[in-house]
């Protein structure tokens, strides 16, 4: 267990950048509207669109350290109400593949918007399927070098109508896939004048740990333990007040908070049972403690 704690403290002091970047590749499988198509196997990560009279298929994506968003829309429409219409067919089938050189914890949120009978189904690896019966779902997982496949299938279409028949038509199938970083920890307990936050990033496997003090510059201690506890701090420091201690303090790292009473640094989340808590002390001697964060799997 000491090896895990030493690893935590090494990252606190060194804040070593770690190689890692979640990336997405989008490949067209079937991508066509009324006879016009993007060839199967085409890399469409940068975006693609097929537009014809009565049909549209479009794909777009945006990537940053905060999120990777992919949007697919497949639609058919006809504006004439009595002039008849030809058969309309549009299909947007796209394979997304997410990878990272190092493991990164993420949430994958999928939302379907189906208008007037548009069809869509999304399969997120082995985690589950999103369809018309359950059109909005979120899956928590870890992306690594083995990859996470996300399969999008959408379709829209209408049969032909002869002249004079009612031919007005509009149908859409819209899919949004949003991948966001997930901090690998669970907050517990109530802050007592200080807060401790752990936030993930898609750019690297480390998380950003932030200690915030209620007012001004202060000295902070990051307590690292193996289990949750609840005990008043005066049991350890008799004059320190009544804020609670929430970890068993196997190791301690001192830190200086800035003029805003904050400090942030990269933290590689280790495996095993780890609990964290911060304590802060201002020049007047007031000692506050934060909520805890439990990193246990």
Categorize the per-residue pLDDT at 149 as very low, low, confident or very high, splitting at 50, 70 and 90: very high
For 192-245, what is each residue's pLDDT tens digit? Answer: 989 998 888 887 666 778 888 777 667 888 998 999 999 988 887 777 778 999
Count the helix, strand and coil residues of the chain and give each as a percent rounded to the nearest 5: 5, 55, 40
Q: Whole-number mean pLDDT of the chain?
A: 88
Radius of gyration in angstroms for the set of CA atoms belonging to the chain, rounded to a whole number: 26
Categorize the per-residue pLDDT at 16 as very low, low, confident or very high, splitting at 50, 70 and 90: very low
Terminal Cα distance for the chain, rounded: 14
Least confident of 32-41, 135-144, 201-210, 217-226: 201-210
For 62-90, what is each residue's pLDDT tens digit? Answer: 999 889 999 999 999 999 888 899 999 99
Residue 146: pLDDT over 70: yes
Cα 271 from chain centre: 20
Token code pair at residue 142: 């870890």
For 260-293, what is each residue's pLDDT tens digit? Answer: 888 887 777 666 788 999 998 877 777 889 999 9
The CA-based dihedral angle spanning residues 265, 105, 114, 135, taken in that order and rounded to the nearest 10 degrees:
-120
For 158-169, what is each residue's pLDDT tens digit? Answer: 999 999 889 999
Q: What pLDDT is attached to residue 15?
A: 42
pTM: 0.77
The CA-based dihedral angle spanning residues 29, 31, 36, 42, taken in that order and rounded to the nearest 10 degrees:
-50
How far is it, in rounded angstroms, from Cα 254 to Cα 264? 13
Name residue 61's beta-bridge partners: 70
Cα 37 from chain centre: 32
Token code pair at residue 216: 């001004």
């Amino acid at each position: 267990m000491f090896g895990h704690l030493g690893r935590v403290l090494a990252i606190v002091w060194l804040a070593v950048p770690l190689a890692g970047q979640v990336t997405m590749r989008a490949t067209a499988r079937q991508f066509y509207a009324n006879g016009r198509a993007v060839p199967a196997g085409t890399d469409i990560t940068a975006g693609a669109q097929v537009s014809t009279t009565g049909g549209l298929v479009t794909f777009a994506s945006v990537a940053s350290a905060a999120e990777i968003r992919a949007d697919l829309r497949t639609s058919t429409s006809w504006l004439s109400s009595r002039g008849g219409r030809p058969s309309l067919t549009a299909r947007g089938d796209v394979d997304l593949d997410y990878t990272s050189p190092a493991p990164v914890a993420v949430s994958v949120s999928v939302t379907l918007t189906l208008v007037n009978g548009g069809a869509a189904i999304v399969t997120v690896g082995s985690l589950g399927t999103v369809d018309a019966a359950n059109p909005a779902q979120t899956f928590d997982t870890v992306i690594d070098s083995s990859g996470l496949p996300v399969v999008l299938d959408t379709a829209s279409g209408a049969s032909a109508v002869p002249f004079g028949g009612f031919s007005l038509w509009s149908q859409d199938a819209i899919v949004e896939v949003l991948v966001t970083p997930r901090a690998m920890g669970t907050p517990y307990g109530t802050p007592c004048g200080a807060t401790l936050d752990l936030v993930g990033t898609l750019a690297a496997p480390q998380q950003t740990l932030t200690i915030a003090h209620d007012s001004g510059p202060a000295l902070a201690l990051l307590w690292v333990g193996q289990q949750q506890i609840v005990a008043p701090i005066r049991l350890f420091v008799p004059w320190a007040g009544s804020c609670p201690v929430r970890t068993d303090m196997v190791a301690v790292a001192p830190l200086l908070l800035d003029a805003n009473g904050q400090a942030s640094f990269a933290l590689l989340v280790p495996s095993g049972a780890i609990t964290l808590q911060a304590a802060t002390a201002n020049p007047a001697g007031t000692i506050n403690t934060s909520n805890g964060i439990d990193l246990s799997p």
